């Protein structure tokens, strides 16, 4: 008996197409909004995503309607559906750039699915100045475009992606530099301390032509020993402080170090607090 056989072809979804309604701005000149919106759309396009730019939307729908669509949110799915139907897109790119009261700048970007308004991919970036803000926008736009162009974008409807970029903390940079300088100081201190041990050996052997020469060598040894212990103590404190600054991103508070020489060595104490 022959049974009819039906072959079902499984294929990936068509390439994602987005429409960018632009960005809103807070604490920034209003004219920045248009520039930022076009910049984000261009960056996404350069990463391989098909994007209808804000200017193109304004030409197709009119500037007044575009301003209304700029307010589309997760809750206004009818607004998103209208935009998708007019432009033939699968999702809407939105964003906001803001100058923070605490200092610095922040940008948030997201791509909403036109069917129900759920976010497919999102990005948050922070920067210390406007130049860094533009750089963060470019990185975020390309990361989101990558999410939508690599693999089947439909996977994002059930497992959305999120990205976050923050500027490197200057405190951490200083911490790493401090730790490196401390490590060098410790190394020099060890060399000096070893050199003082060699001087002590010469004193024990007692091969000197005069008492003055022996006293001079003794003073040299004591100086090398003191220098070595001081550099090792200070270097160790710098290494520890630098590591803590690098890890926690905050400065040490009330750091104190002490060295008490003793017979055949010494005692090193480090105290302080950090946030």
* Token pair in block for residue 143: 């990361």
Q: Residue 190 pLDDT > 90, yes or no?
A: no
Encode pLDDT of 204-215 as tens digits. 666 665 667 666
Using an 8 Å Cβ cutoff, are 194 and 209 in contact?
A: no
Q: Residue 261 pLDDT > 80, yes or no?
A: no
Encode pLDDT of 212-241 as tens digits. 766 676 677 678 777 777 877 887 887 777
Task: Write the burial class of residue 100 (CB in 10 Å: 0-12 exposed, 13-18 middle, 19+ buried).
Answer: exposed
DSSP one-letter string for 45-64: HHTT-EEE-HHHHHHHH-HH
Range of the domain at 91: 17-165
Q: Are residues 72 and 156 in the same domain?
A: yes
The answer as to whether 258 is a domain residue is yes
Q: Are residues 87 and 151 in the same domain?
A: yes
Task: Write the burial class of residue 191 (CB in 10 Å: 0-12 exposed, 13-18 middle, 19+ buried).
Answer: middle
Query: What's the predicted TM-score (pTM) here?
Result: 0.58
Q: Are residues 127 and 176 in the same domain?
A: no
The answer as to whether 230 is a domain residue is yes
Number of domains in the chain: 2
Using an 8 Å Cβ cutoff, are 40 and 137 in contact?
A: yes
Encode pLDDT of 52-64 as tens digits. 988 888 787 776 6
Give the Cα separation of 70 and 2 in Å (integer). 59
The answer as to whether 6 is a domain residue is no
Q: Are residues 32 and 111 in the same domain?
A: yes
145 CB neighbour count, 10 Å cutoff: 25
Give the Cα separation of 153 and 150 in Å (integer). 7
Q: Are residues 41 and 77 in the same domain?
A: yes
Q: Are strands 119-127 and 161-165 parallel, antiparallel or unpaired?
A: parallel
Dihedral over Cα of 12, 44, 21, 165: its sign: positive
The overall longest dimension of the chain from CA atoms, in Å, is 120
Q: Indicate the length of the chain as a whole number.
A: 275
Q: Are residues 58 and 192 in the same domain?
A: no
Q: From 86, 105, 95, select the one nearest 41 (Cα to Cα).
A: 95
The answer as to whether 10 is a domain residue is no
Q: Residue 115 pLDDT > 80, yes or no?
A: yes
Q: Are residues 178 and 244 in the same domain?
A: yes
pLDDT at 194: 78
The answer as to whether 11 is a domain residue is no
Task: Write the burial class of residue 63 (CB in 10 Å: 0-12 exposed, 13-18 middle, 19+ buried).
Answer: exposed
Q: Are residues 140 and 238 in the same domain?
A: no
Q: Are residues 185 and 130 in the same domain?
A: no
């Amino acid at each position: 008996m022959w049974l009819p056989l039906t072959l079902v072809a499984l294929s990936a979804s068509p390439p994602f197409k987005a429409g960018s309604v632009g960005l809103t701005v807070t604490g920034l000149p209003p004219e920045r909004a248009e520039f930022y919106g076009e910049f984000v759309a261009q960056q996404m396009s350069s990463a391989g995503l098909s994007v209808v730019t804000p200017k193109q939307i304004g030409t197709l729908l009119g500037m007044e309607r575009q301003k209304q669509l700029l307010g589309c949110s997760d809750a206004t799915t009818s607004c998103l559906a209208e935009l998708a139907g007019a432009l033939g897109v699968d999702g809407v790119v939105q964003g906001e750039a803001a100058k923070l009261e605490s200092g610095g700048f922040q940008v948030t970007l997201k791509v909403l699915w036109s069917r129900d308004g759920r976010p497919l991919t999102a990005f948050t970036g922070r920067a210390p100045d406007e130049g860094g803000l533009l750089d963060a926008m470019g990185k975020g736009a390309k990361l989101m475009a990558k999410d939508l162009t690599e693999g089947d974008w439909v996977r994002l409807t059930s497992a959305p992606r999120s990205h976050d970029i923050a500027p490197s903390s200057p405190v951490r940079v200083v911490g790493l530099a401090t730790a490196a300088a401390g490590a060098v100081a410790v190394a020099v201190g060890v060399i000096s301390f070893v050199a003082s041990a060699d001087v002590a050996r010469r004193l024990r052997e007692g091969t000197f032509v005069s008492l003055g020469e022996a006293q001079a060598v003794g003073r040299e040894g004591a100086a090398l020993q003191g220098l070595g212990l001081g550099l090792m103590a200070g270097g160790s404190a710098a290494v520890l402080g630098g590591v803590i600054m690098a890890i926690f991103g905050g400065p040490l508070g009330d750091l104190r170090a002490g060295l008490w020489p003793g017979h055949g060595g010494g005692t090193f104490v480090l105290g302080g607090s950090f946030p």
